[in-house]
Amino acid sequence: MTSRKFLATAFCCLFFFCATLCVTSAFAQPPAANEMPSVIQVPTEAQPSPHFDATAATNAYLAQIPAEKTARSDAYFEGGYWLILWDFLYGVVIALLLLNLRWSARMRDLSERVTRFKPVHTFVYWLQYLVLTTVLVFPLSVYEDYFREHKYGLATQTFGPWMGDQLKMLAVNLVLGGVLAIVLFGVVRRWPHTWWIRASVVSIVFVVVVILITPVYIVPIFNTPKILNDPKIVDPILSMARANGIPANNVYEIDASKQTTKMSANVSGFGNTMRITLNDNLLRRGSPEEIQAVMGHEMGHYVLNHIYKDIIFLSIVIVLAFAYLYLGLGWALQHWGERWRIRGVGDTAVLPLVMLLFAIFGFVITPVMNTWTRTQEYEADMYGLNTSRQPDGFAQAAIHLGEYRKMNPGPIEEWIFFDHPSGRNRIYAAMRWKAENLKLFMEQQQSSGGATAAAPAASGAVDKK
Please give the residue ranges that form the binding site for Zn ion (CB under 5 A): 23, 377, 380
Smallest distance, Å, CB 42 to Zn ion? 24
Rounded to whole angstroms, the Cα distance separating 169 from 130 reads: 11
- DSSP assigned state of 405: S
Nearer to Zn ion, 314 or 380 (CB): 380
Nearer to Zn ion, 149 or 377 (CB): 377
Smallest distance, Å, CB 407 to Zn ion? 17
Nearer to Zn ion, 369 or 440 (CB): 369
Q: Across the strands, what pairs with 452?
A: none
- DSSP assigned state of 406: -
Smallest distance, Å, CB 400 to Zn ion? 14
Smallest distance, Å, CB 387 to Zn ion? 13
Rounded to whole angstroms, the Cα distance separating 71 from 76 reads: 9
By C-alpha distance, which of 327, 342, 325, 330 is closest to 99? Answer: 342
Nearer to Zn ion, 377 or 414 (CB): 377
Smallest distance, Å, CB 383 to Zn ion? 10
Nearer to Zn ion, 108 or 405 (CB): 405
Strand 252-254: give its sheet, edge to edge.
Answer: 25-27, 262-268, 275-279, 252-254, 226-227
Smallest distance, Å, CB 285 to Zn ion? 18
Rounded to whole angstroms, the Cα distance separating 313 from 203 reads: 13
Q: Across the strands, what pairs with 275?
A: 268
Residue 25, helix vs strand vs coil: strand
Backbone angles phi, psi at 262, to 5 degrees: -70, 140
Which residue minimizes CB distance to Zn ion?
A: 23
- Which residues, other chains included, contact 247 with Cβ-Cβ below 8 Å and sequence gap of 6+? 241
> In whole angstroms, how far apart are CA 108 and each of 65, 348, 351, 354, 422?
55, 6, 10, 15, 46
Tell me whether strands 252-254 and 226-227 are parallel, antiparallel or unpaired.
Answer: antiparallel
Smallest distance, Å, CB 169 to Zn ion? 23
Residue 96, helix vs strand vs coil: helix
CA dihedral 388, 394, 400, 401 (to 10 degrees): 90
Nearer to Zn ion, 57 or 380 (CB): 380
Nearer to Zn ion, 185 or 404 (CB): 404
> In whole angstroms, how far apart are CA 44 and each of 65, 75, 443, 454?
15, 30, 17, 13
CB 222 within 8 A of CB 1: yes
Smallest distance, Å, CB 23 to Zn ion? 4
**Residue 343: Cβ within 10 Å count:** 14
Nearer to Zn ion, 72 or 420 (CB): 420
- Residue 108: what residue type? R
Nearer to Zn ion, 26 or 380 (CB): 380
Smallest distance, Å, CB 375 to Zn ion? 11
Nearer to Zn ion, 251 or 380 (CB): 380
- Residue 244: what residue type? N
Smallest distance, Å, CB 123 to Zn ion? 36
